[in-house]
Structure 1
């Protein structure tokens, strides 16, 4: 047995270091015990393992994400990996298939499932918001609800689902995208009650000119009152944001309509009304015709982790799945009607079906590049097939 590496503890945060993820010690203990047992028995069979959420298509699509990070677990290992491309909707069957000597990749199961489960949960939740407000800008505000090490995962998943932006600066640096956002209540409070205009004017005077001039207008006074005052205080105000605490909202739709009416009545038709604060998909459906944009946090970041599992389905070419799982390597297909078809990999698929599991690692070499813009477009196109004619969740 080789001695496990010492990653050290010279860091102030409880974050597992990337080196531990890379070498596989970021794992559940029983995989290391399994390695020891197989090593001692001089056994390392060639296997096929598959990651699934459900065995058969269920009609409940999720948006696949996270493979961009996961592939790097297998670099340098004697394995081949097939996976759904990021931005693919699935509702059963494998999303990842791994082939190779089991002992060489067993310890990576924990991190593999973690990469996929969290990102897919975020992406699926974000897509539900996208469907709820398909024609209105939606921005991810959820990073504050997560451990900071997950911020880039959250924001990438939100963009993948078709959202229009995100708030986390460091995540933007990872993704090569610029974060968005204007002001918190704290800025207004720092100037004091009755001095809201001073806060809005300070923002306008000192923040970079390419940042939207959107004033937060519910700190001390009525939303209508502060919206009018902000529009009169700041030349070329871009918008106002209503982030009203739930206990003070009342009829929020009526508030949005009233703000819009009173701004228009005073000649401020070009000032947008942006809404945030504890919003869920049903809120977006209710408000999408009276708001010009949304900021949504917990509805994405609080999504339940997707319960992926990894199972061996073949050992040395023989069917070997445990009870309740389906043996032998499989392929999944997208048919023109948007269905998700499951079949054995050794057999031909539907004549008009597109095979979805693609090579991502070949002999330990990453075999593809993942472009976020291409993944966003794939998700948009695939959603058009999968959800075509389905109005159950779009408020129609």
Structure 2
């Protein structure tokens, strides 16, 4: 059999459970040999108790697709996608253990990676709440997961992204105008020719955003772009490398000054390149929008684990974990609380776990817009991203 062209695990392998750690297959084999298949409650959890360090749940759509159709006896509950969580389960599975044992690896991967990316993106969104934010980080990750990166950024409130194939997957149009490579192809001193050719070549509905830092001073290139494209110019982008920036805030103020001097109030200033929440806070009043790359795409996954907490109706857990099926709550003051499922929750608290899979079917609709609204509302309630945490 010929080796695959790319090192990508195909969807059908994820679906049949082969995309797993070997010891789960050994577990299946052993339990089958012993004629054991207990009904269990298993919970996906990052932290046992709330500690005030919230993270944003993403990846639930893919997790639901994975778990649907496994066994009608398996039920799944989960927090709504776009919920900020802090301690306790984000998902609960109940049913015969062998029905879902081998899917743990992929399940945790779906939730862990997407939630880490979404949490980083929400940090950026909160750092620049009024700015246009685009996800530019697909170049930092394996192309097979670009769709997950861009969807997670949108879920956290980003306005768009750059990856074309991800756009086709998500039924959204990718954003972006020109790279330094385009300007360089025209040669030093020929920036005007590059901007003019771009204006002539691309569709009328493509924003005319000129990249203005390839060969000379940012202010100089911005003025030249204004003089070249005039009223057709929608914006300028500065993607200056960190080693050449100096006082970047001062540079942006100079650019804004020159645009104002030429009465070009309709020209937006867009900034990209090595940005995170700290830079967004520092520049949000002198720039109209930002492209954020590695801070979001390279985010550490959330360290989720799946643990059995009940077997045949009896509470149990390994050392370091809490036994018994649990419920999680959003308290009236915006906090997060965890309690046993068969007990009353805090006064005035909202239980967060909702049905996800019943009788083998997904019983929830997924909307990126609704999840983003939830994430931003939760951020307000919990105070997420209101300080300097990054």
TM-score by length of 1: 0.95
* Match of residue 379, structure 1, among 358, 375, 387: 375
Aligned twin of 1:37: 30
**Cα drift, residue 123 of structure 1:** 0.3
Q: Alignment partner of 1:342: what SS?
A: strand
Contact 1:132 1:394 in 2 (8 A): no
Contact 1:90 1:340 in 2 (8 A): yes
* Match of residue 168, structure 1, among 163, 174, 193: 163
Is the counterpart of residue 264 in structure 1 residue 260 in structure 2? Answer: yes
**In the aligned structure 2, how far is the partner of 1:294 from the partner of 1:394?**
19
Report matched runs for 1:175-186 at 5 Å.
175-186=170-181
**In the aligned structure 1, how far is the partner of 2:220 from the partner of 2:389?**
33
Aligned twin of 2:362: 366
Report matched runs for 1:321-340 at 5 Å.
321-340=317-336
Report matched runs for 1:96-115 at 5 Å.
96-115=91-110
Aligned twin of 1:210: 205
Aligned pairs, number: 387
Aligned twin of 1:309: 305
Report matched runs for 1:1-396 at 5 Å.
11-76=4-69, 77=71, 78-235=73-230, 236-387=232-383, 391-393=386-388
Contact 2:58 2:111 in 1 (8 A): yes
Q: Alignment partner of 2:306: what SS?
A: strand
Gaps of 5+ in 2: none
Q: Alignment partner of 1:127: what SS?
A: helix
**Cα drift, residue 351 of structure 1:** 3.2
Q: CA RMSD in A?
A: 1.4
Q: State the Cα deviation string for residues 33-68 of structure 1 (Å, max 9, x = none).
A: 000100000000000000000001110000100010
Aligned twin of 1:4: none
Gaps of 5+ in 1: 1-7
Aligned twin of 1:3: none
**Cα drift, residue 10 of structure 1:** 6.2
Q: State the Cα deviation string for residues 301-335 of structure 1 (Å, max 9, x = none).
A: 11111110110000001111011111111010112
- Which of structure 1's runs of 4+ aligned residues deviate more than 2 A? 8-11
**Cα drift, residue 349 of structure 1:** 1.5
TM-score by length of 2: 0.97
